[in-house]
């Protein structure tokens, strides 16, 4: 493996089934896998909701709902996981079906890690590649929000007993099945949809310029960026447009697949740290810091940014932009788009808007420096750089 | 790429030994380095190995003090275990041509263990690199040039000849 060699690794253990009305066909495969008693996880169960529809579809193929867990935690804590593990065992469940937003999917992956590794202590699951597979626990995920990129990633966040959030990265966390049906997607909460789409846009750009990016992930990222450009305004204008919703779902999914293989960069590390410290949703923090992070990476990622611009502004405008201005144009276009969408939908634009104070910066910087995503950021990040970025968006 | 590569193995082993010494030296003289060591939990163990059964280096923090050794001790379970997949990548790392972060980005090794611990060690190694290597060399191989709080020559001299 010499410098500049052609060595690369790519992994995506999840089977993806996507399309309008694909749910009924996809669940028919569950009994063939020997699954009969599901541990069902969701973010709330109302009549005629997407969750209700999924439950009906699962039950129609003679897969029982052995137990149901309604998740309300942003990052699942150990106590809840222990409780869930006991419920799963008492009810003799043989698989996990998770239907909901990114929080439900994160919790489902965390409980899968614990159960399939038969973990007793938190240390046996915390970190990279620590959990070892002992029992087969199939996991099926059905996202109901736009732009969820953690659907197929091989990692989960868990809050320990002291309240510290730890990353648990293992191929065991990746789901076996991922069912994406736009008819189940809730797009009526426009701010959440916009924030989700912006987060997957930011992630795709970050993954594209990542140090770990390979040709396969770069192709996926560019396609995803185009999907977002084509569909984000369509969904805002018409939430019932299934094609546009599926386009945004696909972009989120591609961001997730690439994240497992190319990792991300400083914006991901910063938004995660901000989310942990302030309690604000990750995707909102991403919207605030992304443009500043792009500007920070500009000196080393100019070529990649220029390339990505084509997929955002299209042929004519790309051809009309002088080659030396393309990278800067990408940043300006992205910043303008993000600002407009955030402003129109009443989402926070600065760190002060989410209640961040100057004295909390140190905590965020320390958290950021611990993030794995910094390793693959194209520019070497120091503490002072992080302070500077944060101050620029205060 | 094939063969036993005894010279490369020997160079890697010698460099690994001096790298371990330089880590201890930086802990003794550099303030920023000590801040990162302070972030690690007590009884923290970090281990490098070259697969299948090559040279290894172990960093241990005990009672606030950091020690580094190239002796093989596989009885202790490390908090972070980094296994280089082959000698080539390990050689690039110990000769300073690749930082720990770059090795991770290029999937040069298998990592097992705590993420934040590994990141802290990665920042520590960047500081070691900025003492042991010249600015020109660091720039050439796209590595971080970090501010030094101790004399470069002093750290280098102590790494080579000092009693640690």
Supply the DSSP string of B136-161, one letter for each residue.
HHHHHTT------SS-HHHHHHHHHH
Task: Determine contact, residues A321/A357, Cβ cutoff 8 Å.
Answer: no
pLDDT for position A299: 93
The CATH homologous superfamily to which domain B6-149 belongs is SCP2 sterol-binding domain (3.30.1050.10)
Task: Determine contact, residues A211/A266, Cβ cutoff 8 Å.
Answer: no
Closest-CA distance, B65 to chain A, in angstroms, reads 21
Q: Which of A130, A169, A372 faces B119 most closely, judged by CB atoms?
A: A372
Q: Which of B98, B101, B111 faces A129 most closely, judged by CB atoms?
A: B111
Q: What CA–CA distances, in Å, run from A120 to A172, A189, A242, B70?
A: 16, 39, 44, 33
pLDDT for position A194: 82
Neighbours of B23 (CB within 10 A): 25
A1 band by pLDDT with thresholds 50, 70 and 90: very low
Q: pLDDT of A353-391, one tens digit each?
A: 998 888 889 999 998 998 888 988 999 888 899 999 999
Whether residue B52 is preceded by a cis peptide bond, meaning omega within 30 degrees of 0, is: yes
Report the residue of chain A nearest B89, measured CA to CA. Answer: A1
Q: Are the beta carbons of A370 and B119 separated by less than 8 Å?
A: yes
Question: B134 in the Ramachandran plot: left (φ > 0), alpha (ψ -120 to 50) or beta?
Answer: beta
A144 band by pLDDT with thresholds 50, 70 and 90: confident
Report the residue of chain A nearest B144, measured CA to CA. Answer: A380
Mean pLDDT, chain A, as a whole number? Answer: 88
Task: Determine contact, residues A170/A130, Cβ cutoff 8 Å.
Answer: yes
In tens digits, chain B (164 residues) has pLDDT values of 556 788 888 899 899 899 999 999 999 999 989 989 998 998 899 998 888 777 888 989 988 888 888 877 767 788 999 898 888 888 998 898 888 888 888 888 888 898 888 889 988 998 999 999 988 888 888 787 888 888 889 999 998 888 77
Mutate to test the interface with B, among A4, A9, A123, A128 (most CBs of B within 10 A): A128
Question: A92 in the Ramachandran plot: left (φ > 0), alpha (ψ -120 to 50) or beta?
Answer: left
Query: Which residues on adjacent β-strands are paired with residue A128?
Result: A169, B113
Statement: residue A4 has pLDDT above 60 = no
Q: Which of A128, A212, A376 faces B115 most closely, judged by CB atoms?
A: A128
Closest-CA distance, B137 to chain A, in angstroms, reads 16
Q: pLDDT of A265-278, one tens digit each?
A: 999 999 999 998 88
Q: Are the beta carbons of B107 and A371 separated by less than 8 Å?
A: no
Statement: residue A244 has pLDDT above 80 = yes
pLDDT for position A290: 93
Instruction: Name the architecture of domain A15-184.
Output: 3-Layer(aba) Sandwich (3.40)
The structure tokens listed for A322 are 């002088």
Task: Tell me the Cα Rg of chain A.
Answer: 21
Q: What CA–CA distances, in Å, run from A357 to A165, A270, A368?
A: 21, 15, 16
Alpha helices in chain A (DSSP H): 23-27, 29-32, 50-60, 78-90, 102-116, 190-209, 215-237, 242-262, 266-278, 282-320, 326-344, 361-369, 383-392
Closest-CA distance, B3 to chain A, in angstroms, reads 15
Element (H, E) at A140: strand A139-143
pLDDT for position A115: 92
Determine the average pLDDT of the residues in A283-309.
93
* Chain A residues within 8 A of B110 when measuring between CB atoms: 129
The structure tokens listed for B105 are 């980005």
* Chain B residues within 8 A of A269 when measuring between CB atoms: none
Closest-CA distance, B21 to chain A, in angstroms, reads 25
Report chain B residues touching chain A, CB-CB < 8 A. Answer: 39, 80, 85-86, 88-89, 92, 97-98, 101-102, 104-108, 110-120, 122-123, 126, 143-144, 146
* Chain B residues within 8 A of A209 when measuring between CB atoms: none
Burial classification of residue A322, based on how many CB atoms lie within 10 Å of its CB (0-12 exposed, 13-18 middle, 19 or more buried): exposed
Determine the average pLDDT of the residues in A168-178.
90
A21 band by pLDDT with thresholds 50, 70 and 90: confident
pTM of the model: 0.89
Neighbours of B131 (CB within 10 A): 22
Q: Are the beta carbons of A376 and B104 separated by less than 8 Å?
A: yes
Task: Determine contact, residues A140/A154, Cβ cutoff 8 Å.
Answer: no
Can you tell me the distance from the alpha carbon of A264 to that of A267, in angstroms, rounded to the nearest whole number?
8
Q: Which of A1, A166, A372 faces B88 most closely, judged by CB atoms?
A: A1
A191 band by pLDDT with thresholds 50, 70 and 90: confident
Q: Which CATH number fits domain A190-392: 3.30.499.10, 1.20.1090.10, 1.10.10.10, 3.40.50.2300?
A: 1.20.1090.10
pLDDT for position A2: 42
Mutate to test the interface with A, among B116, B120, B141 (most CBs of A within 10 A): B116
Q: pLDDT of A59-93, one tens digit each?
A: 899 889 999 999 878 888 999 999 999 999 999 99
pLDDT for position A187: 62
The gap from C-alpha A241 to its chain's centroid, in whole angstroms, comes to 22
Backbone angles phi, psi at B88, to 5 degrees: -55, -50
* % pLDDT > 90, chain A: 44
Determine the average pLDDT of the residues in A202-215.
92
Can you tell me the distance from the alpha carbon of B134 to that of B146, in angstroms, rounded to the nearest whole number?
11
pLDDT for position A368: 92
A47 band by pLDDT with thresholds 50, 70 and 90: low
b/e for A18-52, b at 16 or more Cβ within 10 A? eeeebbeebbeebeeeebbebbbbbbeeeeebbbe
Statement: residue A223 has pLDDT above 50 = yes
pLDDT for position B22: 92
Between B31-39 and B6-29, two packed helices, what is the crossing angle to 10 degrees? 100
pLDDT for position A326: 95
The three-point CA angle A63-A68-A70 to 5° equals 140
Backbone angles phi, psi at A23, to 5 degrees: -60, -50
Statement: residue A294 has pLDDT above 60 = yes
């Amino acid at each position: 493996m010499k410098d500049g060699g052609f060595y690369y690794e790519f992994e995506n253990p999840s089977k993806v089934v996507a399309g309008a009305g694909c749910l009924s066909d996809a669940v028919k495969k569950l009994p063939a896998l020997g699954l009969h008693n599901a541990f069902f996880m969701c973010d709330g169960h109302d009549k005629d909701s997407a969750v209700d529809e999924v439950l009906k579809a699962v039950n129609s193929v003679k897969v029982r709902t052995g137990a149901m867990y309604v998740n309300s935690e942003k990052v699942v804590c150990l106590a809840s996981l222990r409780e869930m593990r006991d419920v799963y065992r008492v009810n003799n469940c043989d698989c996990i079906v998770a239907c909901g937003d990114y929080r439900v999917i994160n919790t489902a992956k965390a409980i899968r890690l614990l159960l399939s590794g038969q973990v007793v202590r938190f240390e046996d699951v915390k970190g990279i590649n620590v959990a070892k597979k002992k029992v087969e626990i199939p996991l099926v995920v059905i996202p109901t929000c736009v732009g969820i990129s953690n659907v197929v990633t091989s990692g989960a966040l868990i809050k320990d007993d002291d309240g510290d959030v730890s990353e648990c990265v293992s191929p065991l966390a990746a789901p076996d099945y991922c069912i994406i049906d736009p008819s189940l997607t809730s797009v009526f909460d426009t701010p959440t949809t916009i924030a989700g789409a912006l987060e997957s846009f930011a992630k795709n750009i970050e993954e594209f310029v990542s140090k770990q990016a390979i040709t396969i992930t770069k192709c996926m990222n560019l396609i995803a960026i185009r999907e977002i450009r084509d569909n984000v305004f369509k969904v805002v204008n018409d939430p019932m447009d299934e094609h546009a919703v599926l386009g945004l779902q696909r972009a989120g999914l591609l961001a997730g697949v690439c994240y497992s293989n190319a990792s991300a960069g400083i914006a991901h590390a910063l938004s995660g740290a901000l989310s942990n410290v302030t309690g604000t949703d990750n995707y909102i923090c991403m919207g605030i810091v992304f443009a500043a992070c792009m500007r920070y990476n500009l000196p080393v990622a100019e070529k990649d940014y220029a390339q990505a611009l084509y997929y955002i502004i299209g042929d004519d405008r790309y051809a009309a932009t002088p080659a030396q201005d393309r990278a800067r144009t990408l940043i300006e276009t992205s910043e303008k788009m993000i600002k407009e969408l955030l402003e129109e939908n009443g989402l926070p634009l600065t760190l002060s808007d989410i209640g961040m104070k100057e004295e909390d910066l140190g905590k965020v910087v320390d958290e950021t420096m611990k993030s794995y995503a910094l390793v693959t950021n194209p520019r070497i990040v120091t503490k002072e750089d992080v302070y500077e970025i944060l101050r620029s968006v205060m | 790429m094939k063969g036993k590569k005894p010279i490369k193995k020997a160079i890697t082993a010698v460099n690994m030994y001096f790298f371990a010494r330089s880590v201890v030296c930086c802990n003794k003289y550099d303030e920023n380095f000590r801040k990162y060591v302070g972030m690690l939990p007590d009884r923290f163990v970090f281990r490098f190995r070259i697969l299948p059964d090559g040279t290894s280096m172990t960093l241990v923090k005990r009672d606030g003090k950091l020690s580094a050794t190239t002796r093989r001790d596989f009885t202790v379970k490390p908090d972070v275990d980094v296994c280089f997949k082959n000698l080539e990548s390990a050689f690039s790392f110990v000769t300073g041509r690749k930082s720990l972060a770059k090795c991770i980005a290029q999937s040069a090794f298998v990592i097992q263990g705590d993420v934040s611990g590994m990141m802290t060690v990665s920042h520590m190694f960047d500081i070691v690199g900025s003492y042991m290597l010249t600015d020109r060399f660091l720039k050439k191989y796209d590595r971080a040039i970090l501010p030094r709080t101790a004399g470069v020559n002093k750290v280098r001299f102590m790494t080579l000849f000092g009693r640690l």
